[in-house]
Each structure stands twice: as C-alpha cells, then as structure tokens.
Structure 1
C-alpha cells in the first residue's frame, strides 16, 4: 500500500469518526438536551436523528416515561399523637410543559437520585401534615383515598420549580410501631381467646342439652317399644291359648297323644338321654295301651 493510499484511508477514517461523533439519536422514550462547553444550548431536543459538534457539544438524555419512587417507610404522628409507620410510593415524570426540562436539569443536574431525594422530602412533609390532622381510624379507613388525592395536588404545586409532575401518590400500608404492634397483638389474642372460650362454653352447654334430649327420647322410645312388644306378645299368647283350647276341645285324646309325642321327642332327643321312671308311669301311658 502506497503512502498516498494510507493517507486517504486515514483521512476517511477521521471523517468517519467525526461523523460518528456528530450524530446522536433520541428515542421516543427519552428527552434530550445539548450542552455547549457545559452550558445549555438546546433544552428540549425532540425524538429523532440529530447532529452536534464533536468534543464541544455534550448530549444529556432523560427518561420520558413514568418513574416509580419507592420511598423508605417513615414515622408520622396522628391527631391523637399516635405514631404510625407509613410505607408509600410515588409515580412521577419530567413535566412535558415548556421549560420543565430546563428547570429539572438546573435543580437536579439531571440526577434521578437527587430528584428522588427532593421529592421524598416534599412528600414526607405533606404526609406528616395530613396525618397530623386526622385520627388513626380516619387515616386507615375512609380518609385514606382523600389523603392520596390531596397529596398529588399539593406535591404538584411544590415541584413545579423542579420541572417534575407527580402522577400518583399511593400508601401501601400503615402500621403501628413494633412495640405498639406487639401490645395490640397481645390484646387481640386475649380478646380472641375470650371469644373462643365463650364459643366453647356455649357449645358444651348446647351439647349437654342435646345429649339430655337424646337420652330422654331414647328412654321414651325404648319404653314405648317394650310396652308395644308386651301387648303384642300378650295378644299372641292369648291367640295361641285360644287355638290350643279349640284344638283340644275337638279331640282331646288325639291332642293328648300329640303332646305326648312332643314330650317324647324333647326328652329323648339324644342317645345319652336317660329317664328313670316306673313302667306304669303316666308318661308311658300310650306305650302301655299299645302293649295291650
């Protein structure tokens, strides 16, 4: 490669570096500002492709979208001087209004952490004032939404000079300090135990009533069943007696013979059965008749 060719390549490379350093792109998600030797020359560069002077110009980009600030929990006093721990978060963005980006850069030098610190101080001060005007019951119930609405309006009035717009302020949770919380939990446990004891006592009383009623009903049912069974048994015995009497009256001799056979069957049911009777015993009277 000749010396002239190397020189041309070097010049082309230098031109390429100059062009590369002169072009910058601002996306739809960003807002940009151009500084000339540290001083603001363009304060609101729109999205697209732009050019700048290398070295002397510096481009600073800023987030156009909403930024969430999750502030650390802070302690506030309510109207009745009760301390509460409040955990909240703020949604904010650089205001789209004219000159807002310039104010934001002037007050924070474009540092989101610095903007977050300033915004946290403002929000905490307003929260402290709002909680001081309300009781604990109010801040955890119906006034909670009202507090957040007022916080957005009050914060926006104070952050105009910062070039910031507060989109929303939300209270995630409100808790009592750990010492107070433990005391409240103890009282809650005591109350719940008392209620549980009442439920158990009422349950045992109702169980005893149910058992007594069941025992009484069982006794009544058993007595009624025994009475009815005795009546049925008595009627059956009476019917059987009537049948026996009718049968006996029709042929007394045959009836006596059948009854004797039944007696023989029951008495001599096994080979081991033994009877010691006189031969002329009434028990064998049908045998004796047969023998004659």
Structure 2
C-alpha cells in the first residue's frame, strides 16, 4: 500500500514536472523563455513548445497585435504665437522586437505606454512650438502629423516597437481664451458683413444712378418725339388751314370770328369795352357782312 502511494506521488510529481516543461504559444502572442533574468529564446510561431522546468527556465507572453495608446486627457502646448492649446492624440503601435522590448520594460505594458506617451508628447511639443494655431489646426495639420510620426518611429525602434499610425484627435484652445477667440471670430464676421453691406449699397447706388440716367434719356427722347409729332401736326393743321383759306377766304374769316366770339363770351358775366363798329363785330350784324357800318352792340 505504501509503495502504491509512493508511486502515485512520484507519478504526480513527474507529471507536474512534465507539464511545467510544456507551454502553448498563441498566434496572437510572442513567448520569451528566460533563465535567471536572461533571455534564452524568443518564440513567435504558434504551437506546443518545451522548456526546462522552473526555476531553471520561465516563460512570459507578449501581445503581438496592434495596440492603441490613447491619452486620457489632452495635453497643453504653446504655439509659436505663445498661445496655449490643448492637443489630444493617439498612437497605434505593436511589438516587433520582443527581446529588446523585454529588456527595455521587462514585459510591463504599462511602463511601455508611459514611455510611448513621453515620446509622443516630446514630438508634439517640438512640432507645435514651431507653428501657429492656424497651421496646427488646419493649414499644416498633415505635415505636423507626418513630422511627429517620423520622430516617434525613430524613438520607438530603440525600444523594440513599431509605430503604425499617429493621429491628432482634437486641437482646441484652453478654456481661458475661448471667449476672446469667439469675440475675434464675431468681429471678423461683422467686418465681412459690413463689407458686403457696403458693396451692396455701392451696387445699389450704381444701379439707381443708371436707372435715373435711362429714365432721363427715355423722357428726353419721348419729349423730342412728342414735339416732333406736335410740330408735324401743327404743320399739317396750318397746311389744311391754308388750303381752306385759299379755297374760301370769306368763310375762313367767318369761322375764325365765330371761334373768337365763343372764346370771348363763355360766361354771361363776360364784359368787353370796345367800339361796336370795330372789325371784331363785323359778323355780329350778319354772316355776309361787308364793309358797311356795324350796328350798336347789345349785351
């Protein structure tokens, strides 16, 4: 019985030692085999692998996928104009040299993120201090990101990391100067609006002046045409009168006298002081009056 128990204990110990020499590497991981703090082997291929049992050899696993470094809050930087801005960035990175990465951070991802944050912040500070706010926000944003990525890539190679991408998520003014920025934007919009109003008023005056000029020209041409037509009418009337006078001068004189009488005696209260025997009353006595003496006029 004691032999059986001893055998079982020995078998369990052997199995535990055997299992401690086996480990599985996932396709999403690197495996680093080290002994007494010294790296012995780096395994990047997935599958079942062997090592010496602890404490002779130990194994740690590193993530080989693309990781994201996203700062919890924006950092403050000073631009070339000495203005404070808040910049929020993120970095996509992955481990490409597990041995160097392990030596740099002993496999601690938190320490690696801290180091990456320092590298990115230093690169951001170096680029932003050389540019204005407008250049950082819109004008040269692409150039800023390219320059930052280049600097971060060179620094990351020294710790066994590859930078996949660097992006600026947000660039904004600090809260203290937001009001002044909005006031400046409002003033700029007001200036543009005033310029548009001035331009519109000038165009309005120009259109109004052109309309007045055209009106004056049209009225002058209309008056000219009217006078021409009136002159033609008067000439035609004079011609007709002349023809009528030439055909029957006596009838013409009689007709003109009737017109004069009608104009002179429009109202019963009209009064004229004139010699009754004057030429004006020639046809008052009869329509065929000659040169005889005129009868006394009656009212």
TM normalised by structure 1 equals: 0.61
Q: CA deviation at 1:127?
A: 0.9
Q: Where does the alignment leave 5 or more consecutive residues of structure 2 unmatched? A: 194-299
Measure, in 2, the Cα distance between the counterparts of 1:155 and 1:22. 39
Q: Where does the alignment leave 5 or more consecutive residues of structure 1 unmatched? A: 197-292
Runs of 4 or more consecutive aligned structure 1 residues displaced over 4 Å after TM superposition: 186-196
Measure, in 1, the Cα distance between the counterparts of 2:37 and 2:191. 72
Structure with the greater alpha carbon radius of gyration: 2
Could you tell me which residue of structure 2 aligns to residue 178 of structure 1?
175
Q: Does 1:151 align with 2:148?
A: yes
Equivalent in 106, 114, 119 of residue 116 of structure 2: 119
Q: CA deviation at 1:195?
A: 9.7
Q: CA deviation at 1:16?
A: 1.6
Could you tell me which residue of structure 2 aligns to residue 69 of structure 1?
69
Q: Deviations over 1:108-156 (max 9, x none)?
A: 1111111111111111111111112211111111311221122222211
Q: Does 1:78 align with 2:79?
A: yes
Measure, in 1, the Cα distance between the counterparts of 2:79 and 2:53. 57
Alignment check: 8 A CA contact 1:44 1:101 kept: no
Q: CA deviation at 1:161?
A: 1.4
Q: CA deviation at 1:189?
A: 6.3
Measure, in 1, the Cα distance between the counterparts of 2:116 and 2:165. 12
> SS state of the match for residue 110, structure 1?
coil
Equivalent in 127, 146, 153 of residue 130 of structure 1: 127
Alignment check: 8 A CA contact 1:89 1:170 kept: yes
Summarize the Cα distance change of 1:45–1:29 in structure 2 as closer, same or farther, 3 Å threshold: closer
> SS state of the match for residue 162, structure 1?
coil
> SS state of the match for residue 120, structure 1?
helix
Aligned length: 195
C-alpha RMSD over aligned residues: 2.6
Alignment check: 8 A CA contact 2:30 2:42 kept: no
Alignment check: 8 A CA contact 1:34 1:45 kept: no
Q: CA deviation at 1:45?
A: 4.6
Measure, in 1, the Cα distance between the counterparts of 2:122 and 2:34. 35
Measure, in 1, the Cα distance between the counterparts of 2:15 and 2:106. 32
Q: Deviations over 1:77-116 (max 9, x none)?
A: 1121211110011111112xxxx22211111111111111
